[in-house]
Every structure is written in structure tokens, then in C-alpha cells.
């Protein structure tokens, strides 16, 4: 049976899933001899010896036209970084071998093979031809889908969000010139989002201005409750003028399973953490991602008075339901607002000050690449006519933390940062003067005790 893939879930996908083993053709590098499958972009694969590695990929120089760029096309080895020509690639294909993607036990009644045009000896398999076809198809979604299906023999994923390389570049462009741990002067409150795991907590701290502009202040992982308590209740951050700020509101994800050696589930541990620390000067609440459609971004439910095991919780714990899909949409909307301020524009060209974008989303100047990879670990796709966020990498903890930071500052959550009455530079905002008019119906004739007030 031979076929070309179309979209995820098509008949070819179903047939391949029925196979006991799926094989790729691994070829030796002409420079170092390492065997690897040919891929258009770097991809994790199972080596011939059974380990894991990252494949090579097509590379080229970005010149003025697709034709000129295509002339520089080479295949870059994933092991040594050596570059191959089309002739070297064709020679390597003749020396290759088939290798299964997963370990097989016994004989397989059905076997699948994946072969792309990269292996072809015809003109369509020339590296320059592949690069030129890709560059010409990039601007048209239908042409790009045709290239992915017919040249790369891969399924087309209909994305709503930007591809990974563009998404990561967009997030990285949101880095400000403010160092890690420094709070901008115009901030009025710090929020903290915490994603709990079996082995500890991921956290993210974000500073907010009155117009919902925000800056990433700090992020990381802690292994114990005591370390998280130190961050939430004891640590302080300063503005350039020395104003001291502590965390104002924090949300902790309450999801989690149960370790084999644990007596209680991770959810119960988080409930106990919330109960134990709910009166320590920080608005500390638990959160759950909504598993159904919500008419709003946030819903604050009634306090939970029992653990999942049925054990009562003294005083109860407050849980906030968060519409995570909508919060991820809002995060990317804020990223787009920020890019308007950092991208070249007419205002910059004409030396005109740019307008500030309310709700912009900034990272600190020292944000590393692994943070960006976690924030972009999901992409929005259209599957079966429904758009939804889908994971493309396992580690998406800081993406969840970012959504919790935004939820904590949202107006739907007890007024959000609007309740923090401070001017842009931290001085208390004068409360409006209330003119109290004299009630013409009020009489002072009765001077005794008011019979309607119990003293």
C-alpha cells in the first residue's frame, strides 16, 4: 500500500498506527560516518543502536531571492555539523539501512516505511530544488501544505498560531533592558503563578502596572514547600529608587497525581499548603484549569471543605477556575502588542516617540532560551473544525505559570490590579474628595439616644 499523507487523522495515519513497526532509512554521514534519517528540520529520532539523537537538517543562506538562496543549500549532519552536497547525500543513501522507530518484539505482520523526497535521486530530491520549493511556498498556505505533504511526506498541521521558530523569535523579542529581579518603578503589584509537580514547584513572578503592562521579574524551580514559602512570603524585590515590594497575589495549580510511595495525593498536599499559609499577608489561592467551556476567563468557586480522600479541611481552601485556553489567547495578544513597540515602524523612522501599548508583556533582560522554549511549548491548531491549544513539548510549566500570573491580575479576579491604588511611580493616589450634602430632611430636634441603634 502506497500513499501520500494529507492531514493528521487521515487514512494513512490509521494504517501506519496498525503497523507493528515503522522504519526510517538511516544514511551514514560522509564526514563522520554517523547513521541518521534525512529530515528537513532537526528532529529527535531513535538511533540504530537504540539511543536517542537529533537529526541533521537542510541549511542555506538567506539571500535576496529564493533562487539565490537555493544555490547555497547543504545538508547539515546532526552529529558532527558537517555539510553535504547533493552528490554526497545521494551517495550516502545508497549505503543506508532501515531502522525501526521503536523496539519490536518478535515478528511483525504489518510493517510501515517512511520515505521523503530527500532520499530521491531525481531532480526533486536535489537540495537546491527542495529549498527553492520551500521558500516559494512559504507565503501561501495551500502551497506550503502541498510541499509538506508531497516533498516531506509529512502530515499537514493546520496551525492558528505562528510556527515554532517564529513564535520563539517573537517571545525572545519581548526582552526588556531591565535586569532580572528588578521591579520597574511604575509597578503596583507582583503576582506569582505556581505549577506544582510531583518533585516540586515551578514558579513565575510578574510585575504589573495600572494599565496591565507587565514585566517578568523572576522564574525557576524549587523542590520543597519551605523553599516556596520563602519566595512567597519572605523574599522582597526593589525598584531602581529603592521601593520594596513583596508578592501581592499568588495562584497555585492544584492538579497532580499520587506518587507510589506517597500516603496522600499531590492535590491534597497543595490543599494542605494553602490551608497552612492562607493568612500570611499574600492573597494565596489554588487554581484549576477548566475542563469545559466557561463564559468568563475566571470563576471563583465556594471554598472546598474536604480533601479528595474525604478528610475535612479546617477553614476550607479557596479554588479559582481558570479558562486556560482563553488565558493563552490573551498571552499571545499581549505579546503581539509588545512586538508593535519593538518592531521597526514609521514612528521610529521619523524619530517620533511611539505610543505605549497598554497591556504589553515584557521579559527581563536575562531571560534564557529554555524559558522561551517552555512558554512556546504549545501551539494553537484546528482539529476536526475546532481550534484548541496542543502541546508540542512536554515541559510547558512556565507557560502555565504565565497564564496564572495574568489570571491573578485580571479584572475578573476581584478587580485585578485596579484595586491597587497607586500612581505610576508608587506614590499613593489621592482618593477623590466626596462632597457630603446636607440632608434637608434631617432634624436635630431629637437629642436623646437613637432608638434604632443598639449601643
Give the 3-state DSSP-derived string for 198-210, with helices as H, strands as E and coil as C.
CCEEEEEEEEECC
- Whether 410 contacts 416, CB under 8 Å: yes
Quote the CA–CA distance of 287 and 193 in Å, as a whole number.
10
pLDDT in tens, the chain (455 residues): 888 888 877 888 888 888 989 999 999 999 999 999 999 988 889 898 888 899 999 999 989 899 999 999 999 999 999 999 999 999 999 999 999 988 776 788 899 999 999 999 999 999 999 999 999 988 777 788 899 999 999 988 776 777 788 899 999 999 999 999 999 999 999 999 999 998 899 999 999 999 899 999 999 999 999 999 999 999 999 999 999 999 999 999 998 655 544 556 788 999 999 999 988 999 999 999 875 667 788 998 888 888 877 788 888 888 999 999 889 999 999 999 899 888 655 444 455 555 677 899 999 999 999 999 999 999 988 766 677 888 999 899 999 999 999 999 999 999 899 888 654 434 343 333 434 344 444 343 434 444 434 43
Find the Cα–Cα–Cα–Cα dihedral 420, 425, 427, 428, rounded to 10°: -30
DSSP code for 7: B
Quote the CA–CA distance of 46 and 116 in Å, as a whole number.
17
First to last CA, the chain: 91
Rg (CA), the chain: 29
Cβ neighbors of 4 (< 8 A, separation 6 or more) are: 12, 149, 150, 153
Q: Which pLDDT does position 50 carry in this prediction?
A: 84
- Whether 396 contacts 208, CB under 8 Å: no
Q: Which pLDDT does position 294 carry in this prediction?
A: 76
Q: Which pLDDT does position 139 carry in this prediction?
A: 74
- Whether 250 contacts 408, CB under 8 Å: yes
Quote the CA–CA distance of 434 and 108 in Å, as a whole number.
83
Which spans in 104-210 are helix H?
127-137, 141-146, 164-172
Which spans in 264-413 are helix H?
266-276, 324-342, 346-349, 369-375, 397-409
Q: Provide the pairing of β-strand 319-322 with 283-289.
A: parallel
Q: Which pLDDT does position 446 carry in this prediction?
A: 36
Cβ neighbors of 213 (< 8 A, separation 6 or more) are: 186, 356, 357, 358, 359, 360, 361, 362
Q: Which pLDDT does position 309 carry in this prediction?
A: 75
β-partners of residue 206 are 191, 216
CA dist list (Å): 357 to 335, 340, 409: 11, 8, 17
Assign 255 to helix, strand or coil: coil
Provide the CATH topology of domain 171-419: Nucleotidyltransferase; domain 5 (3.30.420)
Q: Which pLDDT does position 90 carry in this prediction?
A: 96
Quote the CA–CA distance of 102 and 22 in Å, as a whole number.
8
- Whether 271 contacts 317, CB under 8 Å: yes
Assign 16 to helix, strand or coil: helix
Q: Which pLDDT does position 158 carry in this prediction?
A: 72
DSSP code for 233: I
Quote the CA–CA distance of 365 and 363 in Å, as a whole number.
7
Long-range pairs for 149-153: beta carbons < 8 A, 24 or more residues apart: 149/4, 149/5, 149/6, 150/4, 150/117, 151/116, 151/117, 151/124, 152/40, 152/116, 152/117, 152/118, 153/4, 153/5, 153/114, 153/115, 153/116, 153/117
Query: Residue ranges per domain, the chain?
Result: 11-156, 171-419
- Whether 235 contacts 228, CB under 8 Å: no
- Whether 64 contacts 23, CB under 8 Å: no
Which residue from 286, 258, 293 is spatially nearest to 271, judged by alpha carbons?
Answer: 286
- Whether 38 contacts 118, CB under 8 Å: yes
Amino acid at each position: 500500500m502506497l500513499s501520500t499523507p494529507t492531514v493528521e487523522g487521515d487514512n494513512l495515519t490509521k494504517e501506519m498506527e496498525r503497523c507493528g513497526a515503522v522504519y526510517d532509512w538511516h544514511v551514514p554521514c560522509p564526514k563522520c560516518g554517523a547513521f541518521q534519517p534525512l529530515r528537513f528540520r532537526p528532529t529527535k529520532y531513535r538511533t540504530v543502536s537504540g539511543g536517542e539523537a537529533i537529526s541533521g537538517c537542510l541549511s542555506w543562506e538567506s539571500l535576496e531571492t529564493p533562487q539565490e538562496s537555493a544555490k547555497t543549500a547543504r545538508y547539515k549532519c546532526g552529529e558532527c555539523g558537517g555539510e553535504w552536497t547533493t552528490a554526497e547525500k545521494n551517495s550516502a543513501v545508497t549505503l543506508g539501512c532501515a531502522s525501526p522507530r521503536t523496539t519490536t518484539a518478535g515478528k511483525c505482520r504489518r510493517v510501515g516505511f517512511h520515505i521523503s523526497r530527500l532520499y530521491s535521486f531525481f531532480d526533486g530530491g536535489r537540495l537546491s530544488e527542495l529549498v527553492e520549493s520551500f521558500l516559494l511556498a512559504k507565503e501561501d498556505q495551500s502551497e506550503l501544505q502541498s510541499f509538506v505533504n508531497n516533498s516531506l511526506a509529512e502530515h499537514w498541521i493546520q496551525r492558528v498560531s505562528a510556527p515554532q521558530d517564529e513564535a520563539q523569535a517573537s517571545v525572545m523579542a519581548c526582552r526588556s533592558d531591565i535586569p532580572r529581579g528588578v521591579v520597574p518603578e511604575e509597578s503596583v503589584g507582583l503576582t506569582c503563578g505556581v505549577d506544582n509537580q510531583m518533585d516540586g514547584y515551578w514558579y513565575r513572578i510578574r510585575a504589573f502596572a495600572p494599565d496591565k503592562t507587565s514585566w517578568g521579574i523572576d522564574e525557576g524551580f524549587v523542590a520543597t514547600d519551605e523553599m516556596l514559602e520563602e519566595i512567597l512570603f519572605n523574599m522582597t524585590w526593589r525598584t531602581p529608587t529603592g521601593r520594596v515590594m513583596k508578592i501581592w497575589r499568588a495562584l497555585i495549580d492544584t492538579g497532580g497525581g499520587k506518587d507510589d510511595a506517597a500516603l496522600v495525593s499531590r492535590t491534597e498536599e497543595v490543599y494542605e499548603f494553602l490551608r497552612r499559609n492562607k493568612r500570611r499577608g499574600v492573597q494565596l489561592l489554588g487554581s484549576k484549569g477548566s475542563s469545559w467551556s466557561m463564559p468568563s476567563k475566571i470563576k471563583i468557586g465556594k471554598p472546598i471543605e474536604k480533601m479528595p480522600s474525604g478528610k475535612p479541611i479546617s477553614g476550607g481552601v479557596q479554588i479559582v477556575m481558570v479558562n486556560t485556553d482563553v488565558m493563552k489567547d490573551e498571552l499571545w495578544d499581549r505579546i503581539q502588542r509588545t512586538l508593535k513597540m519593538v518592531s521597526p515602524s514609521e514612528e521610529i523612522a521619523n524619530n517620533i516617540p511611539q505610543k505605549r501599548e497598554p497591556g504589553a508583556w515584557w521579559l527581563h533582560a536575562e531571560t534564557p532560551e529554555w524559558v522561551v522554549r517552555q512558554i512556546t511549548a504549545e501551539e494553537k491548531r484546528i482539529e476536526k473544525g475546532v481550534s484548541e491549544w496542543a502541546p508540542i513539548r512536554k515541559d510547558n510549566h512556565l507557560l502555565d505559570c504565565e497564564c496564572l500570573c495574568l489570571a491573578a491580575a485580571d479584572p475578573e479576579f476581584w478587580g485585578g490590579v485596579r484595586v491597587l491604588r497607586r500612581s505610576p511611580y508608587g506614590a499613593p493616589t489621592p482618593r477623590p474628595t466626596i462632597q457630603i450634602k446636607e440632608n434637608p430632611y434631617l432634624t436635630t430636634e431629637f437629642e436623646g439616644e437613637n432608638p434604632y441603634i443598639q449601643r
